[in-house]
Chain A
Amino acid sequence: MTDDDGRTRFGRQRGGSSRAVVGVLVAASLTVITVDAAGGDHSPIDPARAAIGNVIGPIESTTATAVRPFRETMAYFSSNDDLRADVARLSAQNSRLRSEAEQVPLDRNRLRELDGLTKTANETGYALVAARVVGMGPMQSFSRTVTIDAGTSSGIHKDMTVLNNDGLVGRVLSATRTTAVVLLVLDTDSVVGGRLGSNLEIGFLRGRGVTGDRGRLDLDLVDHSVSPATGDVVVTWGSQNGVPYVAGIPIGKVESVYSTPRELAKHAVIDPFVDFTSLDVVGVVVPRRTQGDRLVINGVGGKR
């Protein structure tokens, strides 16, 4: 406490210089914001971002690896109840599906043929590089992004599709040598072209920026006369050359449909297949024959 007294004795002088420093720092923050916001896609801040990413990325990877056993224990406790409920639900579903499947071998065969046809037509050669999520942006930043532990050295570049076993996760925003930043489809800045499974109508999915149990996407259909059905599956529609999204990746299913009096169009709320709170292993879609320091999983017989 004696420091405090010492401080007040020189209070005026110190207060003045301190105020100047603080003022300069506020101005510096505002300058950085202005420069970055005005720069748009080619902001002068980007090199700094890349440099920091090159340093912090590996640190995040190492930290995540170090706490992974702990993470798995946590996941065990948090998901045990969920799993119990899942087992009950799935065994009921399984017996129902089995009886259904036995009734429709004909439909199944036709579907297989169609599927094969689509596969051949879409033979774009998807190949996957597996990676793990090592960092997740805090919700306080209001953007839903994660860091994965593979980067340009594994053949990962900007605007590549990221998926996991359940469906579409997002796209690569930027990549450093050993890490990459993925924008989740839940983010408010994310727009994905989607196609309804039942009637092949196309639309755009926007994230709501919320993860957790309430993480949802909004679907706006291009054709205003079409009304999506609840439970309908939405898959990616795909863009030219598969940038940034390749076609046919399941995204989620229609949870509810609503319309506002002001608009003719119907909006649908989509419940994504992917559980974004427990993201771990993800796959990045890379061109076939990608050479890198990681194993490239080439899909047998085409996509997926």
Chain B
Amino acid sequence: MNISRMGLVGFVILLAVVLQVAVFSLFSVNGVVPNLAMIVVVAATIARGPQFGATVGFVAGLLLDLAPPADHVAGRWALALVLVAILAGRVRTDARRSPIAGLATVAVCSFIATSVFALSGVVLGDHALPASEMTQVIGIALLWDIVCAPLLLPGLMALFERTRTPELAY
């Protein structure tokens, strides 16, 4: 992958993180916004496999962890999004074939990502909320991601497909 393609991927990640923090906070439901970074990671994994997806997940997660106004222990979103890439990589072939399977993947990944983040918070004693609040947040986040995925997933997948180095060149 050459520099310009890498730059494009980086730009998509940056855009997702900034939109999530600066724009989607206008539409937040109880403070919950669509997890755009997670959708980007799922799209990357489905389009290009778990290795690429996990790298995108790590970078996007670390950016979420470090960009203002994040205050939690760094690395928690990185871990959650790398795990999302592993999971999406497992069902990748199915998710590529049917849009419904892609949507289901996003739904499961949303649940896993927010849950892993919440659990890591409980383990570290870092910004842990009561379980009832956490489940509510996980639920709203899941609905948001299901609403946003059909709009974003096809476009993002096509974009990531294009960043692939042509296989025939080998």
Which A residues are closer than 8 A to B by beta carbons?
A: 1, 3-4, 6-7, 14, 17-18, 21-22, 25-26, 28-37, 43, 45, 48-49, 52-53, 56-57, 59-60, 63-64, 67, 70-71, 74, 134-147, 173-174, 176, 179-183, 187-189, 208-212, 214, 277
Tell me, in angstroms, the Cα distance from A6 to B55 when the chains sit together.
22
Which listed residue, B14, B71, B85, touches A145 by the CB 8 Å rule?
B71
Which residues of the partner chain A approach B54 to less than 8 Å between Cβ atoms?
21-22, 25-26
Interface of A is mostly: helix
> Which 5 pairs show the lowest CB-CB distances between chains A and B?
A32-B75, A139-B31, A136-B25, A29-B79, A33-B75
Which listed residue, A14, A18, A145, A214, touches B70 by the CB 8 Å rule?
A145
Tell me, in angstroms, the Cα distance from A134 to B68 when the chains sit together.
10
Interface of B is mostly: helix
For the complex formed, measure the closest distance between the CB of B146 and the CB atoms of chain A, giving whole angstroms: 15
Is A18 a contact of B51 with CB atoms below 8 Å? yes
Is B78 a contact of A29 with CB atoms below 8 Å? yes
Which listed residue, A7, A33, A173, A210, touches B71 by the CB 8 Å rule?
A173
Tell me, in angstroms, the Cα distance from A166 to B61 when the chains sit together.
35
Q: How many residues of B contact A (CB 8 A)?
A: 69
B9 within 8 A of A: no
Is B18 a contact of A74 with CB atoms below 8 Å? no
If the complex has contacts A56-B18, A141-B72, A188-B129, are A26 and B82 also in contact, measured as CB distance less than 8 A?
Answer: yes
Tell me, in angstroms, the Cα distance from A189 to B61 when the chains sit together.
22
Is B28 a contact of A22 with CB atoms below 8 Å? no
For the complex formed, measure the closest distance between the CB of B155 and the CB atoms of chain A, giving whole angstroms: 19
For the complex formed, measure the closest distance between the CB of A153 and the CB atoms of chain B, giving whole angstroms: 15
For the complex formed, measure the closest distance between the CB of B7 and the CB atoms of chain A, giving whole angstroms: 15
Tell me, in angstroms, the Cα distance from A192 to B20 when the chains sit together.
29
Tell me, in angstroms, the Cα distance from A18 to B51 when the chains sit together.
5
B66 within 8 A of A: yes
B114 within 8 A of A: yes
Tell me, in angstroms, the Cα distance from A45 to B126 when the chains sit together.
16
Interface-central residue, B73, B96, B137, by most chain A CB under 10 Å:
B73
Tell me, in angstroms, the Cα distance from A74 to B23 when the chains sit together.
12
If the complex has contacts A17-B51, A18-B51, A145-B71, are A139 and B32 also in contact, measured as CB distance less than 8 A?
Answer: yes
